[in-house]
Amino acid sequence: MICGVAASNEIFLLPGGVYGEADKDFAVAYVVPRYIEGLTIVETTRPSDLRGAWR
């Protein structure tokens, strides 16, 4: 889940799931700047999100 990306300066990317020894090259975590060239952020709301004024 991505939360608060639009209001952050850095985006932490973490692997999801369970990795074994054979997957060690793919189980990496890293941080990218929010304003890096070519990054597209798509945000949406969920039906359970009751914060919006649209309800």
Q: What is the pLDDT of residues 1-55, one digit of tens each?
A: 456 777 788 888 887 778 888 888 877 888 989 888 998 887 777 777 777 655 5
Question: pLDDT of 36-47, one tens digit each?
Answer: 899 888 777 777
What is the domain extent for residue 13?
1-55
Q: Please tell me whether residue 7 adopts helix, strand or coil conformation.
A: helix
Alpha-carbon span 2 to 43, nearest angstrom: 9
Place of tokens 């889940």: 1
Which are the contacts of 35, defined by CB distance < 8 A and separation ≥ 6? none
pLDDT at 33: 92
Q: Taking the model in full, what pTM does it have?
A: 0.53
Alpha-carbon span 29 to 49, nearest angstrom: 28
- The domain tally of the chain equals 1
Q: Please tell me whether residue 13 adopts helix, strand or coil conformation.
A: strand
